[in-house]
Amino acid sequence: MQHVFVLDQNKKPLDPCHPARARKLLRSGQAAVFRRFPFTIILMERTLKESVTHKYCVKIDPGSKQTGMALVREGDHKVVWAAIIQHRGQVIRDNLLARRAIRRGRRAHHCRYRPARFDNRHRQKGWLPPSLESRLANIETWVRRLALHTPLTAISMELVKFDTQKIENPEISGVEYQQGKLVGYEVREYLLEKWGRKCAYCGKTGVPLEIEHIIPKSRGGSNQVSNLTLACETCNRAKNNLSAVEFGHPEIQKKAKLPLKDAAAVNSIRWELWRRLSAWGFVVECGTGGRTKYNRISQNLPKTHWLDAACVGEAGKNIFVPNGLDGLGIKSYGHGSRQMCRMNKFGFPRTSAKGAKKVFDFQTGGIVRAVVTKGKKVGTYVGRVAVRSSGYFDIQCGTQIVQGISYIYCRLLHKPDGYSYTYRKDEGFTPLG
């Protein structure tokens, strides 16, 4: 179970405590709820000088779509808190492409011809596309929050590197690839991530997987990653000398040729993330992907993003994971302020710029609890709220949207911060709100 963050009466971080102790402090009136996500309590009559604290290290496993984080207590290497951040880089990219299409259409159809102006544009050193910048911002945001809620002293991150040249051309030779302990690691790890650690043909999980050629080498197939997939022993034997299309799986060929954009995204941000975290004054340890995988396998831990984060670095070889501990699902939604107004079919604004909208002290994106005591919608609803000027709100409870809930039944749990949260044990991120 996740530990609860604790602050003293001056909002200085103390050691996280067990949920049972936090409930006892709340019932006795010695503490009050300070924040819901991550759940934090504040003590009424306790200062930092009167308390004993330990050192903590936040460990990070950065990824293209999801990033794992784990808070580990130094000394006994106990994992006290974990989270999985789901990024929205692809959503940002799609929105920017749509905006560019609208602007180009407006420029072409409603303005005189003007040549493109690229020569007089320059970018600052260290510039990254917004889709990559959002990934860095998410990680920075949560490291900063952990630093405010725990006595954080160190940061450990996996310096992920996918050798895209090795992935595209496995025939590249060299001493490091031919004789190193991690020979073939890049290709195997990339295929495991790409095909979801399951057989591409039958979907089995938890069984030994073999690297399989979509078009057999005997029929002219190559060793490039666009011709490789994962298969269990049964499917690999049954396929024999057939291509994936002949075996009845034409979709595999299409998926295998997808670009290496995820690997490229991780490669692009890894050093910038290290530079930004180092600038905060923390001791930043860098670990390799090979060591992370070795630490996790040697301890017989399942494959999850937050457990990968806990196994990062030298100290990751001997971690203690309490029973029942699961990562908090954090899904990035953004603040919805990039598109300031709606456009018509010609690409011109049809509404005025929107401002901050509050109705009865409620704001869209906040997490509320609504206890409806009468009417057709009697029940308790917890989720993200969409405010309406009429005072009747919409509440998103997971995948269900409940409409027309009066504000008098609502109580604010968490102010809008651009994220939704879930405590479910799957990684599908069905949002709490």
Q: What is the pLDDT of residues 344-400, one digit of tens each?
A: 776 677 777 666 678 898 988 899 999 999 888 999 999 889 998 899 999 988 778
Q: Of 138-152, 157-171, 242-256, 292-306, which range is least confident? A: 157-171
Q: Quick one: pLDDT band at residue 183, thresholds 50, 70, 90?
A: very low
**Co-location of 273 and 147 in the same domain:** yes
Average pLDDT over residues 75-100: 90
Query: Does residue 431 form part of some domain?
Result: no
- The domain boundary, picked from 259, 292, 324, lies at 259
In terms of domains, do 152 and 266 share one? Answer: yes
Q: If you ran DSSP here, which 8-state letter would residue 76 be given?
A: T
| Final residue before a domain boundary, out of 338, 353, 368 | 353
> Among the three residues 19, 38, 53, which one is the final residue of a domain in this structure?
53
245 and 331 assigned to the same domain: no
**Residue-wise pLDDT tens digits, 405-421:** 999 999 999 998 889 88
For the chain, give the mean pLDDT.
Answer: 83
pLDDT, position 177: 44
Query: What CATH number is associated with residue 201?
Result: 1.10.30
* CA–CA dist 433, 429 (Å, integer): 10
pLDDT at 426: 40
User: Would you call the peptide bond into 416 cis, given omega within 30 degrees of 0 as the criterion?
Assistant: no
The CATH number assigned to the domain holding 367 equals 2.30.30
For residue 179, the model assigns a pLDDT of: 43
pLDDT score of 175:
47
* Whole-number Å distance between alpha carbons of 60 and 64: 13
If asked whether residues 40 and 135 sit together in one domain, one would say: no
Contact 28, 20 (CB under 8 A): no
311 with 386, same domain: the answer is no
pLDDT recorded at residue 221: 82
pLDDT of 220 reads 79
C-alpha closest to that of 398 among 429, 374, 357, 358: 429
**Domain containing residue 80: CATH number:** 3.30.420.40
pTM confidence score: 0.75
Q: Both 316 and 334 in a single domain?
A: yes
Domain that holds residue 187: 174-259
139 against 289, higher pLDDT: 139
Residues 195-231 have pLDDT tens digits of 888 898 998 888 888 888 888 888 878 887 778 889 9
User: What would the mean pLDDT of 289-305 be, rounded to a whole number?
Assistant: 88
The pair of structure tokens assigned to 89 is: 């880089």
Domain match, 380 and 408 both: yes
pLDDT in tens, 236-287: 999 888 888 888 888 887 777 665 677 677 778 888 888 999 998 888 998 8
Cβ(43)–Cβ(8) below 8 Å: yes
Do 409 and 323 fall within a single domain? Answer: no
Residues 206 and 96 grouped into a single domain: no
The pLDDT, as a whole number, for residue 258 is 61
Mean pLDDT of 36-47: 92
CA 359 to chain centre: 31
Is the confidence at residue 319, as pLDDT, over 90? yes
pLDDT at site 340: 65
Please say if the pLDDT value at position 171 is more than 80: no
DSSP bridge pairs for 395? 385, 402
Residue 23 has pLDDT above 50, yes or no: yes
Are 38 and 78 in the same domain?
no
pLDDT of residue 178: 45
The verdict on 272 and 386 lying in the same domain is: no
Give the pLDDT of residue 140. Answer: 95
Domain count, the chain: 4
How far is it, in rounded angstroms, from Cα 174 to Cα 360?
A: 67
Q: Are 299 and 255 within one domain?
A: no
DSSP 226-263: GGEEEEEHHHHHHHTT--TTTTT-HHHHHHHT---HHH
The CA–CA distances, whole Å, from 58 to 2, 282, 406 equal 15, 11, 41
